[in-house]
């Protein structure tokens, strides 16, 4: 028999790993499904295919337990809710927040109420919320209307709001920056991500500021947003911070027009948001990092999604592909310094939205159940 290891290498989620950098007290048990620790995949084929003069990595958040980065925020928000004695949580969602809320509520033995826009949520996300036993409430309205509803409900009923206006959500989501810095040994030069409600771009900036240990940044809006909960521990993980590039779908692009959008429309339902809740802090993150926002069309999003799947084996949902699509637009316009190291957050798994994937792919070929028929197809298609 081998002797017992003095410690376990078994990964048990981001609260256990980063507790000293999170506003969760030492003795409080984590409500965890093993989230975080997602792959940082270096792209080779796409770089060659498009002749890009950068090093490009994707942080594949589809590998989280419910298939999106929302799990990072939800483990901290639900752990805190349980510690405060809450018995129910509520959120408005374009889909992934409800999937994560439903799963973490199940894990914690809480009731989850999720409010979703009728007809505008991807099939996989709806299946998740239903399967985990959440009380699913569809509204005849969009996400922004759902958000206004849950904000007033959280004051009127005994439920904890777990949208990203809950500061514990962003505290969990900031850990993505720590993981990228650990994997690369430093911060990338640019970090690209899709922007909807803008909580995640805010969380990325909080994480990079903390990793770089920039105490002055504590007074900025990005950090004021986390209500003094930022933890600047003494060990500095990186010297510099990346430029943050935020990408929006053209039909839902309030950061491009610098004005809220009343009827946002895009195939990328996860970023179909016209009134981002983290409006000010996202502007601060963008400005302080020296970054900018760029818009992409639905066509560019679907094209990028397809390329990433076909050339690299990475299947993400449409909203996630906005980070690649936007980067390609910015590269085309020569806005990045050649030779840079770039990370794109690929926010959610492609299986979330099978309908969009099937409608943008070639149909299966149907033939007789005969060797000759199948062989003919092989010979026709072999590269």
Ligand X SMILES: *Cc1c(COP(=O)(O)O)cnc(C)c1O
Cα R_g (the chain), whole angstroms: 21
Would you say 144 or 317 has its CB closer to ligand X? 317
Selected range binding ligand X among 126-134, 228-236, 288-296, 315-323, rule: CB under 6 A: 315-323
What are residue 322's phi and psi, to 5 degrees?
A: -60, -30
Which position among 13, 264, 348, 350 is part of the footprint of ligand X (CB under 6 A)? 348
226-265 footprint of ligand X as x/- string (CB under 6 A): ----------------------------------------
Would you say 220 or 269 has its CB closer to ligand X? 269
Would you say 197 or 220 has its CB closer to ligand X? 197
SS3 percent helix, strand, coil of the chain, rounded to 5, is 45, 15, 40
Q: What torsion, rounded to 10 degrees, do the Cα atoms 347, 352, 354, 359 define?
A: -40
Strand partners, 116: 138
Would you say 16 or 280 has its CB closer to ligand X? 280
Q: How many CB atoms lie within 10 A of CB 85?
A: 7
Q: Minimum distance between the CB of residue 69 and ligand X, rounded to whole angstroms?
A: 7
> Is 317 one of the binding residues for ligand X (CB under 6 A)?
yes
> What span, in angstroms and rounded, lies between the C-alpha atoms of 369 and 156?
62
Site for ligand X in 52-81 (CB under 6 A): 68, 70
Would you say 160 or 164 has its CB closer to ligand X? 164
Helix (H), strand (E) at residue 91:
strand 88-92
Selected range binding ligand X among 210-218, 223-231, 254-262, 314-322, rule: CB under 6 A: 314-322
Rounded to 5°, the CA angle 252-164-275 comes to 30
> Is 269 one of the binding residues for ligand X (CB under 6 A)?
no
> What span, in angstroms and rounded, lies between the C-alpha atoms of 180 and 303?
26
Would you say 99 or 159 has its CB closer to ligand X? 99
> What span, in angstroms and rounded, lies between the C-alpha atoms of 273 and 195?
9
Pairing of strands 135-139, 341-346: unpaired
Distances (CA, A) of 381 to 31, 357, 371, 373, 375: 49, 21, 15, 13, 10
Site for ligand X in 270-299 (CB under 6 A): 270-271
Helix (H), strand (E) at residue 14:
helix 14-18
Strand partners, 139: 117
Site for ligand X in 115-174 (CB under 6 A): 164
Distances (CA, A) of 149 to 49, 162, 198, 297: 47, 13, 19, 30
Would you say 13 or 73 has its CB closer to ligand X? 73
Binding-site residue total for ligand X (CB under 6 A)? 18
Burial of 67 by CB count in 10 Å (0-12 exposed, 13-18 middle, 19+ buried)? buried
Which position among 319, 327, 344, 357 is part of the footprint of ligand X (CB under 6 A)? 319
Which position among 320, 326, 331, 336 is part of the footprint of ligand X (CB under 6 A)? 320
Q: Minimum distance between the CB of residue 204 and ligand X, rounded to whole angstroms?
A: 9
180-219 footprint of ligand X as x/- string (CB under 6 A): --------------xxxxxxx-------------------
Q: Minimum distance between the CB of residue 103 and ligand X, rounded to whole angstroms?
A: 14
Q: Minimum distance between the CB of residue 209 and ligand X, rounded to whole angstroms?
A: 17
Selected range binding ligand X among 84-92, 138-146, 317-325, 370-378, rule: CB under 6 A: 317-325
Site residues for ligand X per CB under 6 A: 68, 70, 96, 164, 194-200, 270-271, 317, 319-320, 347-348
């Amino acid at each position: 028999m081998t002797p017992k290891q003095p410690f376990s290498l078994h990964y048990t989620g981001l609260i256990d790993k980063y507790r000293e950098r999170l506003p969760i007290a030492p003795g409080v048990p984590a409500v965890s499904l093993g989230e975080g620790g997602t792959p940082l995949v270096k792209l080779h084929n796409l770089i060659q295919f498009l002749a890009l003069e950068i090093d490009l990595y994707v942080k594949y958040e589809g590998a989280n337990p419910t298939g999106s980065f929302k799990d990072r925020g939800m483990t901290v928000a639900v752990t805190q809710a349980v510690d405060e004695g809450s018995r129910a949580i509520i959120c408005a969602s374009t889909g992934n927040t409800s999937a994560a809320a439903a799963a973490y509520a199940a894990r914690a033995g809480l009731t989850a109420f999720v409010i979703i826009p009728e007809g505008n949520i991807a099939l996989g996300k709806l299946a998740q919320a239903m399967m985990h036993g959440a009380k699913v409430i569809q509204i005849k309205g969009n996400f922004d209307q759902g958000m206004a509803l849950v904000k007033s409900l959280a004051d009127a009923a005994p439920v904890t709001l777990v949208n990203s206006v809950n500061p514990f959500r962003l505290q969990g989501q900031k850990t993505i920056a720590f993981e990228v810095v650990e994997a690369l040994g430093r911060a990338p030069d640019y970090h690209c991500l899709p922007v909807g409600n803008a909580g995640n771009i805010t969380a990325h900036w909080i994480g990079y500021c903390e990793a770089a240990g920039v105490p002055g940044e504590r007074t900025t809006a990005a950090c004021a947003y986390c209500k003094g909960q930022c933890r600047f521990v003494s060990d500095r993980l990186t010297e510099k911070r990346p430029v943050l590039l935020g990408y929006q779908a053209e039909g839902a692009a309030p950061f491009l027009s610098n004005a809220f959008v009343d009827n946002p429309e895009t195939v990328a339902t996860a970023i179909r948001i016209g009134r981002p809740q983290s409006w000010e802090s996202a502007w601060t993150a963008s400005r302080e990092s020296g970054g900018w926002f760029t818009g992409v069309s639905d066509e560019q999003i679907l094209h990028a999604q397809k390329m990433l799947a076909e050339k690299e084996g990475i299947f993400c949902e449409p909203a996630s592909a906005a980070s690649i699509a936007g980067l390609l637009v910015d590269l085309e316009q020569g806005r990045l310094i050649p030779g840079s190291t770039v990370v794109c957050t690929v926010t959610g798994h492609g299986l979330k939205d099978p309908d969009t994937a099937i409608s943008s792919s070639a149909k299966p070929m149907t033939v007789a159940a005969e060797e000759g028929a199948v062989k003919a197809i092989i010979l026709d298609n072999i590269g």
